């Protein structure tokens, strides 16, 4: 949360994800978690997304506890 999309130097991020956002905001995370392929067309991620808005909100609230 509130960290660059490319946070880890040693991870090979897809270009589609890099182009989608610079920083993980609550809004960006919500859009990504709901539909990763729709959020970042061309991403190599095979995750289908989290359909429940309540589950996404709970996950984002949890991740916010680790934000700077």
Q: Give pLDDT tens digits for 7-29.
A: 878 887 778 878 888 899 999 99
Q: Give pLDDT tens digits for 28-45.
A: 999 999 999 999 998 877
What pTM, to 2 d.p., does this model score? 0.82
- Greater confidence (4 vs 50) lies with 50
CA distances for 4 relative to 21, 52, 54, 61, 67, angstroms: 8, 25, 24, 18, 11
pLDDT category at 52 given cuts 50, 70, 90 is very high
Whole-number pLDDT of residue 15:
80
Give the CATH class of 15-64: mainly alpha
């Amino acid at each position: 949360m509130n960290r660059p999309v490319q946070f880890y130097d040693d991870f090979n991020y897809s270009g589609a994800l890099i182009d989608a956002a610079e920083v993980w905001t609550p809004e960006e995370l919500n859009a990504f978690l709901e539909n990763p392929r729709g959020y970042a067309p061309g991403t190599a991620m095979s995750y289908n997304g989290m359909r429940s808005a309540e589950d996404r909100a709970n996950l984002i609230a949890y991740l916010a506890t680790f934000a700077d």
